[in-house]
Homo-oligomer: A and B are copies of this chain.
């Protein structure tokens, strides 16, 4: 509790630009109030990234990937780049889900062209390396980025803050890197559920300390990324995905009931209704494999559905891209819907295909 209070004190010091613009009615937020828009609001996961030449230039200036995440001026700049090009309805804070373990004391590095690297924590003794009391300094850098963005973004552009869900962040902390089946984390969870629960609790507490600072600095919406939710058995999904996410949502709702929260339990389309009911999120991001019928069912029950174009179709472009965009729009017209990809934009994506997509959604949506 002391840790959390220390972080909250830091939150208070972050410039808040929230109050000044609550009167602005951003169209991105309307589906959360029950409105269905034509065309639907849209943004794209990883819309700020390597596919954009201006991103690559800024990235070179910044140094390492994490240097960029911890540089409010440059992180704000790359966040704004896709907004300038495409005028998306929402921007998303440029950062990384591994800022949280890094801030907790498990240093994270990104080798060029490879994924993240961490010194793995594979048993409960390793948790002693983590401390929330020192995390606030790094969190505050991210909050400063958010505050800058709220000043610099067009007034009608929503700003999405985010974190990784405890389960997904834990998989990286336990594996020490990305993995194909999250076997080390799943194995620990079976072998020593009480010990693994301590790690999940630390990450849940850290998220509850981290996200309100993003909201106070100006985030309109929060998205919780659970990229590896799909690797879990049903009972483990309940324990490590639904319950920790529910705790984060409850804490945010208690302090900021007006801020919509989007969950993204990737690979768990068969459990989407259960996830929504169990976590109380306001929206769910649907991955590419999620059937449109599932998205329709989610939206019909009053939850915003977001998704789910295949990022690889955006690489391919052409008439097939247009056709699939139209199929998604046809299925979701008149529903609580936000157009997005099913996963992040890949670096090989031609920027002109993104322009094609944006035009198509705006014209046919």
Which residues of A approach B to under 8 Å, CB–CB?
A: 178, 180, 183, 186-187, 190-191, 193, 230-237, 267-272, 274, 288-292, 294, 308, 310, 312-313, 315-316, 320, 324, 327, 342, 346
Establish whether residues A289 and B268, one from each chain, have CB atoms under 8 Å apart when the complex forms: yes
Instruction: State the Cβ distance, A285 to closest chain B Cβ, in Å.
Output: 15
Copies in the complex: 2
* Chain B residues within 8 Å of A288, by CB: 231-233
Establish whether residues B312 and A291, one from each chain, have CB atoms under 8 Å apart when the complex forms: no
Contact among B193, B267, B342 with A230 in the assembled complex (CB-CB below 8 Å): B267
* Chain B residues within 8 Å of A267, by CB: 230, 267, 289
Establish whether residues B234 and A312, one from each chain, have CB atoms under 8 Å apart when the complex forms: no
Establish whether residues B290 and A187, one from each chain, have CB atoms under 8 Å apart when the complex forms: no
Task: Closest B residue to A324 by CB, please name it.
Answer: B235
Closest 9 CB pairs of A and B: A269-B270, A190-B316, A270-B270, A233-B310, A233-B288, A234-B291, A186-B312, A191-B316, A187-B312
In the assembled complex, the Cα of A312 lies from the Cα of B196 at a distance in Å of: 15
Establish whether residues A193 and B289, one from each chain, have CB atoms under 8 Å apart when the complex forms: no
* Chain B residues within 8 Å of A327, by CB: 235
Inter-chain pairs besides A190-B320, A270-B270, 17 sampled, C-beta below 8 Å: A178-B180, A180-B180, A187-B312, A187-B316, A190-B313, A190-B315, A191-B316, A231-B289, A233-B313, A233-B342, A234-B290, A236-B310, A237-B289, A269-B269, A270-B289, A270-B294, A271-B289
Task: Closest B residue to A308 by CB, please name it.
Answer: B233
Establish whether residues B187 and A315, one from each chain, have CB atoms under 8 Å apart when the complex forms: yes
